[in-house]
Structure formats: C-alpha cells, structure tokens
Amino acid sequence: MLETGKKLQERYRIEKQVGQGGMGSIYLATDERFHSTVAIKEALFADENYKKAFDREARLLNSLKHSALPKVTDHFVEDNGQYIVMEFIGGDDLFEQMRKAGRAFPVNEVLEWADQLLEALAYLHEQGIIHRDIKPQNLKLTPQQKIILLDFGLAKGNPTDANFQTAAKSIFGYSRNYASLEQIQGTGTDPRSDVYSLAATLYHLMTDRVPADALTRVMMVLNESRDPLEPAGKFNSEISQEVSDALQTCLSLKANDRPANVGEMKSLLFSGTSTPFVLAAGTPASVENEELLTMDTKLIDHSTGGKSKPSEFKTEVMGAAAGDSASTKIANRETRPLSASDTQKAQSRGSFGLLTAIGLITLI
C-alpha cells in the first residue's frame, strides 16, 4: 500500500487510497507538473502474466477515445511496482450509491445510462474489445451525469498490438452475479457476453435486487426446478413490460438466445412502446439469493498450477491448471462428471448444449 505523501516519478504525490479493483489498488494523487488531480492504479500482483495483463490494460485504455471511457495519460514501473495514471472520476460508484440510498434508481435514469453504455460498447466491440466485467461497481457518473465505464483489467482484445492478446488468453475472471455462463466456464466470450453483463447490471440498478447468477440458474434447471430469474418488472412497477421482457431475453443462459450485438439489445430495450408490466397468473413467489456476491471479481490464472493466491481484499484469486479452462472453479465446491441424464435434462429444458462438451460441472 502506498503511503500518503509518497511521490512517484518525481511528479505524482499520493493523497489517499480510494478503492480497489480486480487487479489493482486505486489512489487519489496530485500531478505536481500540471497541478491537477489524477487517479493512479497500482498493480497488486507480481506474477508475470498479471504484469502483462496490467501493461495491456494501460495500452488499451490509452488507445480508446470515447466520452464514456476513462482517459489514461501515463504508465510506468517504479521500485518493482507498476502504475497507470488516469482521469480521476470523483464520487461513489453506482453500487455504493444504491447501497447508501437503500433503493433502486429511477428507471428513466437507468435507461439513459443504458443508452450511453450501449454506445460505448458498440465502440469497443467494433474494435474487437470485450469488456467482460460490466457491473454497478465499475460505473461512475461525471458531474454532468454522464456514465463512465471503468476497470478494463479483464478486457479481451487489443486494438493496438496483437502480441498482447496472448496475455488475455492465460488469465480470465468474472463477477459471478453479472457474468454469463460461458464466461464463468471459460468456454469463450463475445459481444453477447457483454450483453448479458449489461442486462444483469441494468436489472440490479432498476430493482435493487441482484439477479440470480448463471451457475445457480443452470443447476436449478438441471435439477428440474424452475429458473430462479424473476422478471424485473415484478419488483418495480416503473419497469414496462417491454423493458422487463428485453432484460429477460438478454439474460438468457444460452448465448444464441440473446441479442447478437448491442445494436439488437438497444432495439429491444427502446422498442418505442411502454406497456405496464403484468405478472403472469400462477407465478410463484420469488426465490431470494442466499449469497450476495456482487462485490467479487474472480481472477483465474492458468500459470499457477492450480494454487490459489491469497487476497487481502474482496477479490478472490484462484488457480486453474493448463487445459482446465473449460471447468468452472468455485472455492470449496465439489465437482462431478456431467452425466447423460444431466445433458438430456438441460437440452430438454432449452438449456446449454455446450454443457455436453464440458467434462465437469460445479455443484453449488
């Protein structure tokens, strides 16, 4: 941890620590050259793969030019530490704002942010970049109430240097309540994975309820129980039938059942109609999540031979041996082979055909 008053590069004076992301600590600092306030992200891992990923994040962010993305101005190594200097966005993230308020945000506000985020994601996806960690904790508002998407530590794809793409292949991670099943299982992500994460985020912001996570949902389907994901409109009367249905579609377990891109997601969300939500007759009471894991981003390193690394903050770092990327890693959980009956159940209930190809499934 950097001490208050420490100076980096004989230029940046550390004021205080203001947060921690999946791969680094965030500090408020003063740029004494320009007498301005900046944010400095410090890498938390010494592992070579994480160093490459951190360097890649700096290069990626420096190359991006969009109003909804943070601006990076410097990247350096000092005293064996690695740092990124970026624009400072003050205030709490949206998760913390909602926690303090104790209620959901107004639906119209959330939809305005959704429109801005869809535009930013379209910009990223056009360049082959998948964010892979969209969640309320990674969203902030500027003083002009414009949304900013933060933390590109898990981003996949690089618009500037193809050599750095290899770093993304050796490290993957996820935030469980906002990640698609294919991301959690490490079977490959694409723009539809960001569609899922954005929909999960919007659902949470509109309802003040974290959506049921993909692993819990698929296991309940396999066990012949109903999908616990309730329509968002059930929890907030401001949510129209069209928006509730759009979120439900975007949160489909099967990637092929989601919109193929953010343009299609935008068409679903902003259909031009606003019918009051009507709860289907006979719908059972909602299933509450037993665990609220919204604060955790799990990072999985293929280079550690399966050994978990300790973490002093709420991100759990886990190991996955080479060739094990198709298995789901959850701490202190048991795994068993996926049986033919499991596969039949999943397929008969419209769930994942891709489960057939996965040799292990995590019991939760």
55: domain CATH number? 3.30.200.20
Total domains in the chain come to: 1
Range picked from 8-22, 169-183, 200-214 for highest mean pLDDT: 200-214
Inside any domain, residue 169: no
In this prediction, residues 167-181 reach a mean pLDDT of: 75
pLDDT at 47: 81
In this prediction, residues 211-219 reach a mean pLDDT of: 95
pLDDT band, very low/low/confident/very high, at 280 (cuts 50, 70, 90): low
pLDDT > 50? residue 120: yes
How far apart CA 354 and CA 343 sit, in angstroms, is 9
Type of residue numbered 142: T
> What value does the mean pLDDT of the chain take?
79
Residue spans of alpha helices (H) in 208-297 = 214-222, 241-250, 262-269
Higher pLDDT, 287 or 256: 256
pLDDT at 75: 96
Inside any domain, residue 14: yes
Inside any domain, residue 28: yes
pLDDT band, very low/low/confident/very high, at 274 (cuts 50, 70, 90): low
pLDDT at 71: 92
- The parent domain of residue 60 ranges over 7-87
Inside any domain, residue 234: no
Half-sphere exposure of 175 (CA within 13 A, CB side): 31
Nearest CA among 46, 38, 33 for reference residue 73: 38
Inside any domain, residue 313: no
Inside any domain, residue 71: yes
Percent of the chain with pLDDT over 90: 58
Nearest CA among 31, 16, 23 for reference residue 61: 23
Nearest CA among 18, 48, 50, 333 for reference residue 173: 50
pLDDT at 50: 84
Q: Per mean pLDDT, which range of 5-9, 51-55, 316-320, 341-345 is the poorest?
A: 316-320
pLDDT > 80? residue 233: yes
Residue spans of alpha helices (H) in the chain = 48-63, 94-101, 107-126, 165-170, 181-185, 191-207, 214-222, 241-250, 262-269, 340-348
pLDDT band, very low/low/confident/very high, at 355 (cuts 50, 70, 90): very low
Nearest CA among 348, 346, 347 for reference residue 218: 346
Inside any domain, residue 260: no
pLDDT band, very low/low/confident/very high, at 160 (cuts 50, 70, 90): low
How far apart CA 268 and CA 243 sit, in angstroms, is 7
- Residue-wise pLDDT for 1-49, tens only, equals 899 999 999 999 999 999 886 678 999 999 999 999 999 999 988 788 8
Higher pLDDT, 276 or 330: 276
pLDDT band, very low/low/confident/very high, at 138 (cuts 50, 70, 90): very high
Higher pLDDT, 77 or 294: 77
pLDDT > 50? residue 310: no
Inside any domain, residue 322: no
pLDDT at 271: 83
pLDDT at 89: 92
Q: Per mean pLDDT, which range of 28-42, 142-156, 220-234, 290-304 is the poorest?
A: 290-304
Both tokens of residue 138?
Answer: 């990674």
pLDDT band, very low/low/confident/very high, at 328 (cuts 50, 70, 90): very low
